[in-house]
């Protein structure tokens, strides 16, 4: 069996049994990165020497009997997480050069667990996008291909580098961040599992901010169990993030085994949207049958404000982004383009440093926050956001989890949807409501499209009930028995 066939759980067992060393595992993954990254562009920065050093330390820790399930496991870290001493870009030229002097809490926790960092994964600039095409460091290619076609496809976004890295076996798992779907949609596009935990479950400290009331870190991996192992290490209260929740972190890996017998699963009528690809609707129906067969009770539910989700998201997220990105002024971080005076320097720096999508969001954000429009847009959006949250609260009095599709289509071609931002934003139609409500949601690979591309189903849970999300996702994973692999991968 090839070393690349091991999952995180499998590799942890092999490491514990001594049948493979961390140095062997990491050397193989460093090799896969060297071979495939020039083609796929999943990493912006690779750190093979650092990875090898960390692998040696992991072997010593395993020998000393002090290992965690992640000790010696090679990971990709999305390049939105600040990593001490390692260049961090947010895929934006405006940060070039930026070498953080501190580590984000989440990547620091993974480090403390003994995980190994292979490099910093590519993303849409400042995590704004659904295709990875807005990266200032070039697009990422999806390792999957349509059957009989060589066309280059997007891996989804914004955590598309993380997704491509794990799918192509250039990492065993990855960190992502999800503001409106950036973990779930790329996971669906690349045949992976990925969870956006409850807002507040993982610390945002040291994650470059996009929209602070929505941003959440989470794991992406080959299966549900691996995501649970990663989230166990990533989650937890942090005094450095005032929105981090002071809650006990349960054993997520144990929840994977729970089963769904007796659980009530809600099927929201509003997610049956006109024009959704019939393949996706059919897969959703299959998912419903699988859960029924596994002993769950299916309940028809209504989330009446779903139709406002995208509009609310694309007001709230740009508003927060315009404020968060005000700090990139050529003074404190990264790039500077000199001008005749201070204002001119700000303007030249921001004009040169930000890409088109980021500029669009800043303009929308400042507009909806401006005097005279604040009430009509931002305040209204906040009110509707509250109604969306109330929809979920009402429904979760009746059901334990909700099942929906993850995305309205399979992976699309590189360059498609780029000239029409609204079509691009439609990618997020199924993922943004859970983000606005702050509830946990996971995408799990459930089948292939007629063209041979992976499709995902989404499981949404109550606040801080990731355990049920894991249990339901694992039941779908088991029933789906999704085993296909992408064309481009380390073998
Ligand atoms: N695609 C969404 C956007 O462009 C979500 C991005 C994200 O979750 N970071 O804003």
Q: pLDDT digit string (tens) for 41-98?
A: 999 999 999 999 999 999 999 999 999 999 999 999 999 999 999 999 999 999 998 9
Beta carbons of 215 and 436 less than 8 angstroms apart: no
pLDDT value at residue 423 = 81
3-state class percentages of the chain: helix first, strand second, coil last, to nearest 5: 45, 15, 45
CA of 224 from ligand 1 middle (Å) equals: 22
Residues 201, 235: contact at Cβ < 8 Å?
Answer: yes
**Mean pLDDT in order along the chain per 10 residues (491 residues):** 96 98 98 98 98 98 97 98 98 95 98 98 98 97 96 97 98 98 98 98 98 98 98 98 97 97 97 88 97 98 97 98 96 92 97 97 97 94 98 98 96 87 87 98 98 98 98 98 96 94
Kindly give the number of the ligand 1 atom that is closest to the alpha carbon of 357. Answer: 4
- The sign one gets for the Cα dihedral 37, 43, 46, 51 is negative
Q: Could you tell which of 177, 181, 196, 220 is best to mutate to test the pocket of ligand 1, judged by most ligand atoms within 8 Å of the CB?
A: 181
For residue 214, the ligand 1 atom closest to its alpha carbon is 8
Can you tell me the distance from the alpha carbon of 391 to that of 242, in angstroms, rounded to the nearest whole number?
26
Protein residue with least CA distance to atom 5, ligand 1: 180
CA of 335 to the centre of ligand 1 (A): 24
- Determine the Cα–Cα distance for residues 296 and 310; give it in Å rounded to an integer: 30
Q: What is the DSSP letter of 90?
A: T
- Domains of the chain by start residue, with CATH: 3-258 (3.90.1300.10)
What value, to the nearest 5°, has the Cα angle with vertex 96 and ends 168 and 420? 65
Tokens describing residue 446: 């459930």
Classify the C-alpha dihedral 356-359-365-371 as positive or negative.
negative
Pocket of ligand 1 (CB under 6 A): 127-130, 158, 178-182, 210, 317, 428
- Angstrom distance (rounded) from CA 184 to CA 186: 6
pLDDT at 1: 84
317 bridge partner residues: none
Q: How far is the CA of 286 from the centre of ligand 1 (A)?
A: 28
* Residue 427 Cα: closest atom of ligand 1: 1
What is each CA distance from 377 to 314, 384, 429, in whole angstroms? 10, 10, 19
Q: How far apart are CA 142 and CA 40, in angstroms?
A: 7
Catalytically active residues, by annotation:
78, 158, 182
Burial category of 276 from C-beta neighbours within 10 Å (exposed 0-12, middle 13-18, buried 19 and up): middle
**Nearest protein Cα to ligand 1, atom 4:** 129
Closest to 183 measured CA to CA, from 160, 211, 210? 160
Q: Characterize 346-370 residue by residue with b for buried, 16 or more Cβ atoms within 10 angstroms of its Cβ, and e for exposed.
A: bebbbeebbbebbeebbebbbbbbe
3-state secondary structure 233-265: HHCCCCCCCCCCCCCCCCCHHHHCCCCCCCCEE
Scanning the structure block, which residue is given the tokens 């009446």?
304
Q: Could you tell me if 430 and 442 are in contact, meaning their C-beta atoms sit under 8 angstroms apart?
A: no
Distance between Cα 57 and ligand 1 center (Å)? 36
Phi, psi torsion values for 264, nearest 5 degrees: -100, 120
Instruction: State how far the Cα of 290 lies from the Cα of 15, in Å rounded to an integer.
Output: 34
Distance 317 CA to ligand 1 centre (A): 9
DSSP states along 156-171: -SSTHHHHHHHHTTS-
Ligand 1 centroid to Cα of residue 32, in Å, is 28
**DSSP states of 381-443 as a string?**
HHHHHHHHHHHHHHHTTT-SEEEEES-SSS--BTTTTTT-HHHHHGGGTTTHHHHHHT--EEE
Which atom of ligand 1 is nearest to 177's Cα? Answer: 9
Q: Are 15 and 67 in contact (CB under 8 A)?
A: yes
Q: For 257-316, write each residue's pLDDT tens digit.
A: 999 999 999 999 999 987 788 999 999 999 999 999 999 999 999 999 999 999 999 999
Cα separation, 5 vs 402, in Å, equals 32
Segment 216-240, tens digit of pLDDT:
999 999 999 999 999 999 999 999 9
Q: How many CB atoms lie within 10 A of CB 54?
A: 23
Number of C-beta neighbours around residue 186 at 10 A = 40
Which H/E stretch holds residue 461? strand 454-461
Distances (CA, A) of 302 to 3, 274, 428, 462: 46, 16, 19, 16
- Which of 79, 121, 127 for a ligand 1 pocket mutation test, highest count of atoms within 8 Å of Cβ? 127
Query: Candidates 79, 125, 178, 180: which one to mutate for ligand 1, based on the most atoms within 8 Å of Cβ?
Result: 180
User: Nearest Cα to 391, choosing from 335, 432, 347?
Assistant: 432
Residue 127 CA to ligand 1 centre (angstroms):
6
345 CA to centre of ligand 1 in angstroms:
29
* Helices (runs of H) and strands (runs of E) counted in the chain: 16, 11
Q: Which of 90, 125, 133, 158 to mutate to test the pocket of ligand 1 (most atoms within 8 A of CB)?
A: 158
What is the DSSP code (8-state) at residue 153?
Answer: B
Q: Which atom of ligand 1 is nearest to the CA of 130?
A: 1
Taking the centre of ligand 1 as the mean of its atom positions, its distance from the CA of residue 158, in whole angstroms, is 6
The Å distance, Cα 28 to ligand 1 centre, comes to 32
159 CA: nearest ligand 1 atom: 9
Coil, strand or helix at 369: helix
The 8 Å CB, 24+ separation contacts for 283-286 are: 283/405, 283/446, 283/447, 283/455, 283/457, 284/403, 284/404, 284/405, 284/457, 286/446, 286/447, 286/480
- Distance between CA atoms of residues 489 and 44, nearest Å: 18
């Amino acid at each position: 069996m090839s070393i690349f066939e091991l999952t995180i759980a499998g590799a942890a067992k092999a490491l514990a049994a001594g049948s493979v060393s961390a140095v062997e595992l990491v050397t193989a993954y460093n090799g896969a990165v060297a071979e495939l990254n020039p083609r796929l562009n999943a990493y912006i920065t690779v750190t093979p020497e650092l990875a090898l050093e960390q692998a040696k330390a992991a072997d010593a820790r395993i020998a000393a009997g002090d290992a965690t399930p992640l000790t010696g496991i090679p990971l990709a870290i999305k390049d939105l997480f600040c990593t001490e001493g390692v260049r961090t870009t947010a895929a934006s030229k405006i940060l070039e050069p930026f070498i953080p002097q501190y580590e984000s809490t989440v990547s620091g926790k993974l480090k403390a667990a003994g995980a190994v960092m292979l490099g910093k994964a590519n993303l849409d600039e400042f995590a704004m996008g659904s295709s990875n095409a807005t990266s200032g460091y070039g697009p990422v290619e999806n390792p999957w291909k349509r059957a009989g076609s060589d066309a280059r496809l997007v891996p989804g976004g914004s955590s598309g580098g993380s997704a491509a890295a794990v799918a192509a076996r250039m990492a065993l798992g990855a960190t992502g961040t999800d503001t409106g779907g950036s973990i779930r949609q790329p996971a669906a596009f690349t045949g992976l599992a990925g969870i956006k935990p409850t807002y507040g479950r993982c610390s945002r400290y040291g994650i470059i901010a996009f929209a602070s009331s929505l941003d959440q870190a989470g794991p992406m991996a080959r299966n549900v169990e691996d995501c649970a192992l990663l989230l166990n290490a990533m989650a937890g209260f942090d005094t450095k993030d005032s929105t981090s929740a002071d809650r006990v972190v349960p054993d997520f890996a144990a929840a994977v085994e729970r089963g769904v017998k007796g659980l009530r699963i809600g099927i929201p009528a509003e997610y049956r949207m006109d024009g959704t690809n019939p393949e996706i609707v059919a897969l959703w129906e299959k998912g419903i049958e699988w859960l029924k067969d596994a002993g769950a009770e299916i309940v028809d539910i209504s989330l009446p404000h779903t139709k406002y989700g995208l509009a609310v998201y694309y007001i709230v997220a740009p508003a927060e982004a315009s404020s968060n990105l005000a700090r990139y002024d050529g003074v404190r971080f990264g790039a500077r383009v000199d001008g005749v005076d201070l204002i001119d320097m700000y303007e030249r720096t921001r004009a040169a440093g930000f890409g088109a999508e980021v500029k669009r969001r800043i303009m929308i954000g400042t507009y909806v926050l401006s005097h005279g429009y604040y009430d009509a847009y931002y305040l209204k959006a906040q009110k509707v956001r509250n109604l969306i949250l109330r929809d979920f609260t009402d429904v979760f009095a009746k059901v334990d989890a909700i099942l929906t599709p993850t995305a309205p289509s399979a992976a699309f071609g590189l360059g498609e949807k780029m000239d029409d931002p609204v079509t691009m934003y439609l990618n997020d139609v199924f993922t943004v409501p859970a983000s606005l409500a702050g509830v946990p949601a996971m995408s799990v690979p459930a089948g292939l499209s007629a063209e041979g591309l992976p499709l995902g189903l989404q499981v949404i849970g109550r606040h801080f009930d990731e355990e049920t999300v894991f249990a339901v996702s694992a039941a779908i994973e088991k029933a789906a028995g999704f085993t296909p692999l992408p064309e481009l991968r380390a073998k």
